[in-house]
Structure 1
Amino acid sequence: MADSDILLIEDSPSQALNFRLMLERAGYQVQVAPDGLTGWRTARTQLPRMILLDIDLPALDGFQVLSRLKRDQQTRNIPVVMLTHRDRIDSVQRALDLGANDYLFKDDVPYELLNVVSQILALSGQE
C-alpha cells in the first residue's frame, strides 16, 4: 500500500467521509483512523506527510495523541492540524502549546481545508 499523504483521525464517519472526499478530489491520498489509539499507531507505522486530528476522540483524545506524536522521534516533525468545534476555543491554545501547526473549526472546513493543507505541506517542504 502506498503511503498516505494525510492521516485523518476522526471518529464521526460522516465527517471523515466528507473530509476524505474533499482531500481526495484535490489529489491527496488519505487514510482514516476512527479513534485516537488507532490514529497514533497508524501515524507511527505509516509516517504520513500530515495529520488532521480531531480533539474529541475515543480511546485517546486528540491532545493525548498530539502529545505522543510530538514526543516520538519518528513522528515529532509530522505537521498536525487540529479539528475542533467553535465552542472549544480554549482547546485551540492548548493544541498550539502541545505543538499543533494549526487548527480548523469544523464549520470552516469546507472553505479552508484545502488551503490550510497545501500551505502547511508547502511550509514543511513537502508540497
Structure 2
Amino acid sequence: MRKPATQAALPIIEVFQSGKSWEVHWDYQEAPESSILYKRREYLDGYIDGALDAIGIAPEKVSCASARTGSVKRLTETQAVQLRVALDRLLTPVVANEFKRLKQEANLPHIRLVAGEHD
C-alpha cells in the first residue's frame, strides 16, 4: 500500500517575463486531491473566465485556461500578478480542502477495515 502524502499536491502557478511582456502558466499536480479540479470544473472554469475578463485580458492572449491547466501570454506585469493572485485564491484552497477531506476520510475506522488494515 502506498504511503499517504503529508501535504497537498497544490497546483503550480508560474509568472515570468518574456521579452517586454509577461506570461502566467498553471498546471495541476497528479494526486488524488487534484481530481476535485475536474469534478468542479464548470464552476472553476467559469470563475477563471470571469477573472480573465475582470482583469481585462483579451481572449487572443489566452492559449488555454481551465481549472487544471492554463497559459496566458502577452500580459502587462500588473495583469500577470492579478491573474496569479486570482488563481491562487481559487485553486489552492480547493485542492488543499480536498486533501484534508481525503485524509480525514482515510482515518475513518470503517474505511480502514474495508481497505484491509486492522489495528
Instruction: Give the alignment's TM-score, normalised by structure 2.
Output: 0.27
Tell me the TM-score normalised to structure 1 length. 0.26
* Structure possessing the higher relative contact order (Cα contacts under 8 Å, 6 or more residues apart): 2
